[in-house]
Amino acid sequence: MPESDISYNDLVTPSVLKQPIYEPGKPIDLVAREFGLNPDETIKLASNENPLGASPKALAAVKEFLEETYLYPDGGCYVLRQTLSRKYGLASEQFVFGNGSNEVIELIGHAFIQPGDEVVMGEQAFILYKLITLLFQATPVEVPLVDFTHDLKAMREAITDRTKVVFLPSPNNPTGTLNSPDEVVEFAESLPDHVILVVDEAYAEFLESPVDLRPLIEAGRKIICTRTFSKIYGLAGFRIGYGYCSAECAALLNRVREPFNVNSVAQVAANAALGDEDFVEASRRCNDRGLQQLVKFCSDSGLSFVPSVGNFMLVKVGNGAEVFKELQKRGVIVRPMGGYGFSEYLRISIGTQSENERLIAALQSALLLS
Ligand SMILES: Cc1ncc(COP(=O)(O)O)c(C=O)c1O
């Protein structure tokens, strides 16, 4: 190899060096290796996955499909698109699919976010919005939450002529909080015409009555809603999510995606999962019970928490980084929240009843509660 005075760092697009790195939940095998644990006895309550596993209907469909995987996928996700079109009562051209809803949000960046644009978001909103904004060299305008909840009035006031996109998660991760449907509709209606509202509905299926923005989309408001198969459908590893919006907007998002961005196995799994109502119902019940279990434990032990409508909850434990480590020693992986400025909190994904019991026992021991 010839000597060179030029390194990759000299060549890299300067903004890449400033790009923050997303820290995912730690995988079970990694924690087991680090702490000398048996992976089978280690539990992960760190990434808001479904503790019941994947939708059984999705798994059955995938098993049947595997021999077809020598063919490229249908880049247009035709079958899934038709199923969703029927489910939502929207035209099939109103959907866009991604390798997780994460990718749909990135496609929004590709299509709409340019250097010099401002992107309005909650200060402790899901971190991806900030990462995508910075990736496209735009300016994140972060509006502090009030009572852990998005302050829609302040977000409205933060909008300028340079605002291109507003991100609103409904509910938010990591806080598990929600603005009421009426407030969200009022906010959407108050936005000027040059602003695109992105409503991230990753956890909407856990809600009794999520906000319905389809009438506003149909009325011509610039709104993109995103959803995922990673949460209630239990398909996080397949990586598939989607957005719905006007057909005009979906066509633009489709222009900037890679031709085969969603693999065929994920498409088959997602399509079958949409018909797995029993699983969705069981997942919702499991989550409701788990939230109650964790709320009761926190209340009985005098631990503060942020009431959540998602499949996770913020719990105040003191030194979050330290307790995170102590829990790992006990075979329980949760998520420290220092990156969000909540260094005294842990975000705990809701598990099965027995996983929650393990978490509670580990927390009691780590915090020396009796
Ligand atoms: C609020 C929110 N939006 C989007 C995502 C991305 O999910 P996925 O890319 O798996 O669809 C997550 C994942 O945790 C999330 O919490």
Mean pLDDT of the chain: 97
- Ligand 1, residue 227: give the atom nearest the CA: 11
Residue-level pLDDT at 27: 95
Task: Provide Rg for the chain, Cα atoms.
Answer: 21
Q: What pLDDT, on the 0 to 100 scale, is given for residue 367?
A: 94
Domains of the chain, residue spans: 10-53+278-366, 56-273
- Percentage of the residues of the chain whose pLDDT score is greater than 90: 96
Q: Are 150 and 168 contacting, i.e. CB atoms less than 8 angstroms apart?
A: yes
Give the Å distance between the CA of 282 and the centre of ligand 1.
21
Mutational pocket test of ligand 1: of 230, 233, 350, the residue with most ligand atoms within 8 Å of the beta carbon: 230
Checking if the pLDDT of 2 tops 90, the result is: no
User: Using one digit for the tens of pLDDT, what is the confidence trace for 250-260?
Assistant: 999 999 999 99
In this prediction, residue 368 carries a pLDDT of 85
Order of strands, sheet of 345-349, starting from the edge strand that comes earlier in the sequence: 305-306, 312-316, 345-349, 335-336
Q: Which residues pair with 312 in a beta bridge?
A: 349
Q: State in Å: Cα 153 to ligand 1 middle.
A: 25
The DSSP bridge pattern shows strands 241-244 and 223-228 to be: antiparallel
Contact between 309 and 206 under an 8 Å Cβ cutoff? The reply is yes
Q: Which residues pair with 332 in a beta bridge?
A: 43
Q: Which residues are near ligand 1 (CB < 6 Å)?
A: 48, 100-102, 126, 169, 173, 200, 202, 228, 230, 236, 241
Q: Is the dihedral of CA 210, 214, 217, 221 positive or negative?
A: negative
Pocket test for ligand 1, best of 99, 129, 173, 311 (most atoms within 8 A of CB): 173
Query: CA angle, 251 as apex, 246 and 256 as ends, to 5°?
Result: 130
pLDDT band at 334, cuts 50/70/90? very high
CATH class assigned to 10-53+278-366: alpha beta
Q: Kindly tell me if the per-residue pLDDT of 370 is higher than 60.
A: no
Helix (H, G, I), strand (E, B) or coil at 42: coil
> pLDDT confidence of 106, banded at 50, 70, 90?
very high
Pick the CATH number of 56-273 from 3.30.365.10, 3.40.640.10, 1.10.1580.10, 3.40.50.880: 3.40.640.10
pLDDT tens per residue across span 119-172: 999 999 999 999 999 999 999 999 999 999 999 999 999 999 999 999 999 999
Q: How far is the CA of 247 from the centre of ligand 1 (A)?
A: 23
List C-alpha distances in Å: 48 to 88, 155, 168: 25, 27, 19
Q: How far is the C-alpha of 22 from the C-alpha of 354, rounded, in Å?
A: 30
Across the range 341-356, mean pLDDT stands at 97
Q: Residues, the chain, total?
A: 370
**61: nearest Cα among 88, 75, 79:** 79
Q: Which of 241, 239, 147, 238 is nearest to 198 (CA)?
A: 241
Q: Ligand 1 atom 6: the closest Cα is on which residue?
A: 102
Q: What is the mean pLDDT of residues 227-232?
A: 98
Q: Which of 4-13, 254-263, 342-351 has the lowest mean pLDDT?
A: 4-13
pLDDT digits (tens, 9 = 90+) for 15-42: 899 899 888 999 999 999 999 999 999 9
Q: How far is the CA of 74 from the centre of ligand 1 (A)?
A: 23
Nearest atom (ligand 1) to Cα of 103? 9
- When pLDDT is cut at 50, 70 and 90, the band that residue 115 belongs to is very high
d(CA 109, CA 135) in angstroms, rounded, equals: 8
Smallest CA-to-CA distance from 363 within 298, 310, 299 is with 298
**Integer CA distances (angstroms), 190 to 42, 186, 211, 222, in order:** 48, 6, 16, 11
195 — pLDDT class (breaks 50, 70, 90)? very high
pLDDT in tens, 163-194: 999 999 999 999 999 999 999 999 999 999 99
305-306 and 118-122 strand pairing = unpaired
**What average pLDDT does this structure show over 70-89?**
98
At 369 the pLDDT is 74
pTM over 0.75: yes
| pLDDT bucket at 12, cuts 50 / 70 / 90 | very high
CA 129 to centroid of ligand 1, rounded, Å: 11
Distance from residue 228's CA to the centre of ligand 1 (Å): 7
CB 214 within 8 A of CB 243: no
* Mean pLDDT, residues 204-217 taken together: 97
What's phi and psi for 306, nearest 5 deg? -105, 110
